[in-house]
Structure 1
Amino acid sequence: MDKLYQCFGSTLDPNPNARKAAELELRKLETQPGMLPSAFSLLSSQETSPEVRQAAAIYVKNRIRRAWDPDFIVGSSQNLIPAEDHDAIRQSLLPTLLGSPNQQIRVHVAAALGAVVRCDFPSKWPTLVDEIKELLGDGSGGDSNRIAAGLTALLEVVRGYRWKDEDNIMDPVANATFPTLLTISNNLLASPSSSAPEVGQLLYLVTKIFKTSITQQLVDYHQADQNIVPWGQLLLAIVQKEIDPSQLPADEDARQTSPWWKAKKWAYFSLNKLFSRFGNPTQLPSNLAKYKPFAQRFVTTFAPEILKVYLGQTEAKVQGRLWMSDRAIHLVLAFFTECIKPNSTWVLLKPNVLPLVQSFAFPLLCRTQTDDEVWDLDPTDFLRQQMDPFDDFGSPRSSAANFVQTVAKKRTKTAFLPILEFVTSVLNAYPASRTAAEKEGALYTVKTLDDVMLTHPMVKTNLESFMVQHVIPELSGQDRFLKFRAAEVIARLSSDMEWKNGASLESAFQGIMTCLGDSELPVRVQAAQAVTHLLDHDEVKDAMRPNAPRLMQELLNLSDEVELDVLTEPKTRVMDAFPQELLPFSTKLCEQLAQSYLRLVGAGIEAAKAIEEAGEVGREMNLSTLEEQGEEDKMFAAMSCLTTIWQVIDTAESHAETLNQLEKIVVPIVTYTIREKVYEMFDDCFELTDLLTYSQKRVTDGMWEVFRLMYEAMKSEESQDYLSEMLPTLDNIISYGKEAFEANADLRNMVLDIYNTVMSGGDDFQASERIAACKLADVLLLVLKSGLDDAIPGFVGSMLPLVGRKKEKSLRQWSNIVIADCLCYNAQLTLSALESMQATTTYFQNLLQISSKLNKVHEKKVVAVALLSVLSLDQSAMPASIGQAGGAQSLLVGLIQDLEGIPKAIERMKEFNEDLFEDEDEVEGEASGGIDLDAGDEDVVDEDNEYLELLAKEAARLRSRAAKGADDGDDVEEDEDAEDEDDEDADGFESPLATVPVFDGFRKVLSSSAFVQSLAQSLSPKDQELLQAVSQIQDEDLSKSSKEPPSVPAF
């Protein structure tokens, strides 16, 4: 015990060597039975110092979470907790939780309890609920510490089954414990000390338990009237509870997170969730249809009461009689927003909309003193709050904007014009009777209403005069916030509105250009956004054309200054607008982008190292961990640099010398990224190398270096999940480095080693990575004409176990295709390998079975070339199973059926690509604010409902497949088929066989082989008719790919 005490104490030593030695000693002790129960003894002892108790609590939590469940060990170096310790640990958890001296220790013990619950309850810990009930008592009073421990333990039980409860564990738990929670809560609310923080803390736990229990489902307990009625009354009582101000912190920030306001937060949240997910009958997707009876009762009985209470609270807030936390304001506004679409709640909300907008929402849209302070202290942080929707999500301002926007779009006939009239009145009254902050709030509201303003027939024709009167003048004004907001309004409206007067457009352009040189960083960034939208007008574009390089340079300078990705879109728009003008400056542009990228990623690496040194995680570029260091914005900005570099390369696609210069800039940042294992950037970096190699149609010395580093990365366990991202570049390197691969066995062996690493890893690799390995083999076998003879048996042997596999459709198809690739490469060698493995008949049966289901051009051509290669052999060279008439005839029938499908596959690919371009055009050209001016008060069913229904159907499909997999005794990889469905059609894949004349090859084999002729003559009349039709198809009549083909196989 003393040794253990010393180890825990040393883990807090400021000397890193002492800490490391203590951690290693703990690792040695882990294998000894009794070690973890001893840690609990230290943790529970009042004689243990607070620091050691804290260290022991953290260790216990991490140890149990990582090594309790033998089926899920986190980390390959973890030692499983000895099974003989499990009973003692289970018996220690609740007493330790009860005896925890402070919240810091309690939270760690609770996390350990949660990990055990998820694994052991109820099967191995059937008495847990009874033990929790003993702590809770009968609800009439008792030791608040025991109640808090019981509530904390119950929360962990409910958490364990909030996402998945196939055995219906939640319902008996709720029936056994929730009535007691109601009694406890009502007694607390009625007590003389009900405003005390201790009461708030207990009610916070109660509301969090209830909120967690309804995360995904309502069990029978929730839906019963005798239960939901008292719970609804309790939640509304908590929401309306007036707290004695003396019991709340004086500091407003501290008040936001005080126990009572945390309890109120979860009460608001639970009421909202009951309505938005389960209690709104017209908005229920099909997977929640079972809640329709509950929803019909809820929407008529509860929703009006909730709305009444919330309206009363907003009135009290407006009148200054009530303080509300930011989270409470957000949740109240979120409920109002949910009430807009259903008729039953809309008719109740409708009379209150304009007062809510004017008095409650609008003030939240106006700038505050805090906004001024943030702008002064950290302009970049101000920009993040203003321009990053995720950063602002859940704030009162974003919630108010969402409410105003939703009611204007979904109830346009009723709400839009009155709201706009109010906004206009504010603008007209400035500066006489309205402040600059209020005008800024009015312009913020205009930005929120942009979609409706651009499409409403009574408004869109007057936008120019609106701009001239209220927006453009502020661009040259003195108020920095008004300049910022005016530039944002121009960015939102200018590109899609009609400018009838050229002078107005020029005035807007000149004002934005002035703001681009403003002394305030947020104004310059917002102006950069606006000027690129003004480029949609030819007059502005022509005026800007001579200065396009200067504009791009300004955007790059701003990007370096703010280190956010908010300027990605402006840079993209400028590149699209001025490709030729920027081409001479592309090298300098990419050099600057590369420098920025290396600086930003370097900062991220240093942050990751700091996390590692703190002992939290291994050094990796993970955005979720970098967020803790405030470095995630730098990584997104680095991604933005790569996006812009990609655009520059794309623009220079037909300029060989420029591409050569750009490659010299790109290769060092790619090699740096690979060497430093910056996995977050792999996808973007490999898109650059893919585009460069494809554009240059050759493999340079720099790209050979990248290839070798990719190979080294694939040999590293941490990087092996990135073959899919590497594949397009590897495809190009093999295709355009064909001669080098045929001449250099080392290069071939590197590709083969990558393939073997993934395929020999089996289920350790995701299906997508194994399919990527198949595709790598596919291109290697089809491009190279020599050097792979010794590898053919290996390819065949690794694929045969998969060709008839029931699960993983795409992997099964690709395994058949890879062996067909081997036949294309050398039919004789491949047949010999199949014969030696006694698999010839089985393979061809599987190939012919799946060939009718293949619908992509590449797949069908591989099958065609493979079967032609076999049938072109001399009959004496064929295995007996094929050389016999019956076997060969089935191959011939399979061939002509496959050939028949190739024109259809080509047509399908063309249609797919045409539809893709049409969809892009529609997205670019359509106004995003579809409104219905004639809609009344009926239920609104829109794209949100369609999206929820789509998610519901997809979830049902995945559950069905998972159940089928369980019935078959197989695991089903749920997403790999969907991901692989249209990959070759959709991502620009170009087959090495694209221009191989398979129909000419067919006619050649048919005319030159007496054996094939005899087979054809014995076909059924239907098959002979099909053969005649196929033999008339001309390769030159079919669409051809532009990718350079390999040499045409000789049939």
Structure 2
Amino acid sequence: MEWNPETLQFLSQCFLHTLSPQPEPRRAAESSLSEAADRPNYGLAVLRLLAEPSVDEQIRQAAAVNFKNHLRTRWAPSNDPNAGPTFSPILHPEKDQIKTLIVSLMLSSSPRIQSQLSEALAVIGKHDFPKSWPTLLPELISNLQKAAQSADYASINGILGTANSIFKKFRYQYKTNDLLLDLKYCLDNFAAPLLEIFLKTASLIDSTVASAGGGSPVTLRPLFESQRLCCRIFYSLNFQELPEFFEDHMREWMGEFKKYLTTSYPSLDSSANELALVDELRAAVCENISLYMEKNEEEFQGYLNDFASAVWSLLTNVSQSSSRDKLAVTAMKFLTTVSTSVHHTLFANEGVIPQICQSIVIPNVQLRDEDEELFEMNYVEFIRRDMEGSDLDTRRRIACELLKGIATHYKKQVTDIVSIQIQNLLSSFATNPSANWKNKDCAIYLVVSLATKKAGGTNVSTDLVDVQTFFTSVIVPELQSQDVNGFPMLKAGALKFFTMFRGQIQKPVAFQLFPDLVRYLGSESNVVHSYAAIRSIN
């Protein structure tokens, strides 16, 4: 496909019509583009269209998406006959021209087009970087340094976003000699510029926050996004093993990490959208220190006390809003890792475990409006998380995992404290069942989630309560309730308890409850009648 005015007109019209609400012109345009995609230099022609400022922004956005998808299917087509339709591959001369143009075009594009081109670049990088694209990293570094000099954070974040995408392979691929050679190449070239831009941006954040009014969100937003991307790149480059450069400069990295966990930013805290940006950075920091805790414990131990204190304090102030879930979960995962390590003595001081239980665990195990909405509106997902254990990244589950972690070395203390909490929750429920039903649900959830499976079997056990007594006094009243539709989440929790602890329930008692299980098969709640069916089968 030759690049000329006719080609520009043809492609522009096709991409315009792909946006049409009318099916006929949209299908015709998609068919024309599909045919054109088989011709040599199609991808290069679309890339050149993106560089034409005279073309409408919407048309270029559609073209950018098409270009990204074109590369996904044709840059390195699969030879697997079961993988779907086969596509003609992009030829090497065209590939070389695309690689020559794409970085500069990405950096000069508008944010939406830039994001698509960044993804397209990552597709190329997955197959070609670094061996078949040795100019990419030097080009990115050169542009990063130029952008840093002019504080052009649109370009800086575009470059960091691209680097983040191409470095992700170091997290997920098996450690091989080839992978370690690629990692060494990236570390030798990118580790120093990464630290340089990280510290420069940190200084800009400090000076902006210290200015009158604490800095505007418009000014701070790209700076925080830049730091988040730096943290994600840090995670990728440190995932396989601790690089010498990062060990030598650990003090600089850890100093800034701690600052983001302990500093408040009033100009961003007032808006949920702006606070989410700060939380994303803090969550990335928590993932980095968790990585060091797991893989570089000896080198990290000098910083551990300060970080444990910072994360603990942060968690006690994180609200129950779903927008802050990722931060809460990653922070609790860090404390869980610490609790099972040789540094578990951080939890041995008097009052620490009760405070963690009271201020972190119980608030995060309590039901929220979002949980009720999921229960009612997406029962399949609720059951998948609740029964099948796919809720590992939820606040409720990770809070219980934190308790389990602490119990690894302090089982009696955890058992005594949680048992008291369970009794307090049940007492609260008894004073006003209609208003405090969530407290009873929380008590049941704690018992079920902290139960341990016996080795070599399917039966579970718990030291928190006497199962038979708890079942009789707490679970049976729910199961024998005549209103099968009242407080459905409480009913679901009771049915789950009955299912999990069935091996410890006396058979005559279980048989007496069978008619109640049958009644619950008629419940209006999808979750309740599903749980009743599961228990009936078991």
If the length of structure 1 is used for normalisation, what is the TM-score? 0.44
Q: Which residue is 1:463 aligned to?
A: 467
3-state SS, counterpart of residue 430 of structure 1: helix
Instruction: Pick from 237, 243, 250 the counterpart of residue 228 of structure 1.
Output: 250
Contact 2:451 2:461 in 1 (8 A): no
3-state SS, counterpart of residue 122 of structure 1: coil
Report Cα offsets for 1:143-184 as digits up to 9, x if no partner. 222212221232233235543624232321333422223223
Give, as a single letter, the amino acid of the residue that structure 2 aligns with 1:9: L
Report Cα offsets for 1:328-371 as digits up to 9, x if no partner. 11111111221222232x11024422321222211222222333
Q: Superposed, which structure 2 residues align to 1:752-791 within 5 Å? A: none
Report Cα offsets for 1:11-56 as digits up to 9, x if no partner. 3344555444434444554465544333222112221112210121
3-state SS, counterpart of residue 12 of structure 1: coil
Q: Superposed, which structure 2 residues align to 1:546-625 within 5 Å? A: 570=537, 573=538
Report Cα offsets for 1:685-728 as digits up to 9, x if no partner. xxxxxxxxxxxxxxxxxxxxxxxxxxxxxxxxxxxxxxxxxxxx
Q: Alpha carbons of 1:153 and 1:457: their partners in 2 closer, same or farther (altered >3 Å)?
A: closer
3-state SS, counterpart of residue 325 of structure 1: helix
Contact 1:98 1:146 in 2 (8 A): yes
Give, as a single letter, the amino acid of the residue that structure 2 aligns with 1:400: A
- Alpha-carbon separation, structure 2, partners of 1:382 and 1:122: 43
Q: Which residue is 2:293 aligned to?
A: 275
Q: Which residue is 2:3 aligned to?
A: none
Q: Alpha carbons of 1:450 and 1:70: their partners in 2 closer, same or farther (altered >3 Å)?
A: closer
Contact 2:478 2:490 in 1 (8 A): yes
- Alpha-carbon separation, structure 2, partners of 1:161 and 1:456: 40
Answer yes or no: is 1:492 the counterpart of 2:492: no
Shift of 1:194: 7.5
Answer yes or no: is 1:243 the counterpart of 2:265: yes
Q: Alpha carbons of 1:4 and 1:375: their partners in 2 closer, same or farther (altered >3 Å)?
A: closer
Shift of 1:202: 2.0
3-state SS, counterpart of residue 393 of structure 1: coil
Q: Which residue is 2:196 aligned to?
A: 180
Q: Superposed, which structure 2 residues align to 1:798-947 within 5 Å? A: none
Instruction: Pick from 479, 483, 490 the counterpart of residue 491 of structure 2.
Output: 483
Contact 1:339 1:349 in 2 (8 A): no
Give, as a single letter, the amino acid of the residue that structure 2 aligns with 1:126: P
Answer yes or no: is 1:428 the counterpart of 2:433: no
Report Cα offsets for 1:548-568 as digits up to 9, x if no partner. xxxxxxxxxxxxxxxxxxxxx
Give, as a single letter, the amino acid of the residue that structure 2 aligns with 1:465: T
Instruction: Pick from 90, 93, 102 the counterpart of residue 93 of structure 1.
Output: 102
Instruction: Pick from 206, 223, 242 the counterpart of residue 199 of structure 1.
Output: 223
3-state SS, counterpart of residue 343 of structure 1: coil
Instruction: Pick from 254, 260, 280 the counterpart of residue 262 of structure 1.
Output: 280
3-state SS, counterpart of residue 245 of structure 2: helix
Shift of 1:96: 1.5
- Alpha-carbon separation, structure 2, partners of 1:155 and 1:368: 34
Q: Superposed, which structure 2 residues align to 1:251-650 within 5 Å? A: 258-276=276-294, 278-279=295-296, 295-298=297-300, 300-317=301-318, 325-344=324-343, 346-351=344-349, 352-377=352-377, 379-380=379-380, 382-390=382-390, 392-408=391-407, 411-432=410-431, 435-451=436-452, 462-477=466-481, 478-493=486-501, 495-497=502-504, 499=506, 502=508, 504-505=509-510, 508-509=513-514, 511-530=516-535, 532=536, 570=537, 573=538
- Alpha-carbon separation, structure 2, partners of 1:525 and 1:24: 46
- Alpha-carbon separation, structure 2, partners of 1:122 and 1:366: 49
Instruction: Pick from 237, 248, 252 the counterpart of residue 213 of structure 1.
Output: 237
Q: Gapped runs of 5+ residues in structure 1?
A: 280-294, 533-569, 574-1051
Answer yes or no: is 1:131 the counterpart of 2:139: yes
3-state SS, counterpart of residue 339 of structure 1: helix
Instruction: Pick from 150, 161, 168 the counterpart of residue 159 of structure 1.
Output: 168
Q: Which residue is 2:5 aligned to?
A: none
The sequence identity of aligned pairs, in percent, is: 20
Contact 2:322 2:370 in 1 (8 A): no
Give, as a single letter, the amino acid of the residue that structure 2 aligns with 1:234: E
Q: Gapped runs of 5+ residues in structure 2?
A: 1-7, 209-214
Shift of 1:245: 5.3
- Alpha-carbon separation, structure 2, partners of 1:417 and 1:456: 16
Shift of 1:396: 0.9
Q: Alpha carbons of 1:109 and 1:158: their partners in 2 closer, same or farther (altered >3 Å)?
A: same
- Alpha-carbon separation, structure 2, partners of 1:205 and 1:455: 43
Shift of 1:374: 4.1
Q: Superposed, which structure 2 residues align to 1:75-86 within 5 Å? A: 77-86=86-95
Give, as a single letter, the amino acid of the residue that structure 1 aligns with 2:446: T
Give, as a single letter, the amino acid of the residue that structure 2 aligns with 1:524: H
Q: Alpha carbons of 1:236 and 1:248: their partners in 2 closer, same or farther (altered >3 Å)?
A: same
Report Cα offsets for 1:786-826 as digits up to 9, x if no partner. xxxxxxxxxxxxxxxxxxxxxxxxxxxxxxxxxxxxxxxxx
Shift of 1:309: 0.9
Contact 2:318 2:324 in 1 (8 A): no
- Alpha-carbon separation, structure 1, partners of 2:238 and 2:259: 19
Shift of 1:110: 0.8
Shift of 1:248: 5.7
Contact 1:334 1:403 in 2 (8 A): yes
Contact 2:453 2:460 in 1 (8 A): yes
Contact 1:337 1:407 in 2 (8 A): yes
Contact 1:94 1:149 in 2 (8 A): no
Shift of 1:388: 4.1
Q: Which residue is 1:41 aligned to?
A: 48
- Alpha-carbon separation, structure 2, partners of 1:159 and 1:465: 51
Shift of 1:69: 4.2
Q: Which residue is 1:1030 aligned to?
A: none
Count of equivalent residues? 501
Q: Which residue is 1:143 aligned to?
A: 152
If the length of structure 2 is used for normalisation, what is the TM-score? 0.82
Shift of 1:76: 5.9
Report Cα offsets for 1:848-887 as digits up to 9, x if no partner. xxxxxxxxxxxxxxxxxxxxxxxxxxxxxxxxxxxxxxxx
Shift of 1:442: 0.7
- Alpha-carbon separation, structure 2, partners of 1:11 and 1:510: 59
- Alpha-carbon separation, structure 2, partners of 1:356 and 1:117: 45
Contact 2:492 2:527 in 1 (8 A): yes
3-state SS, counterpart of residue 431 of structure 2: coil
Shift of 1:72: 7.2
Q: Alpha carbons of 1:485 and 1:180: their partners in 2 closer, same or farther (altered >3 Å)?
A: same
3-state SS, counterpart of residue 367 of structure 2: coil
Give, as a single letter, the amino acid of the residue that structure 1 aligns with 2:423: T
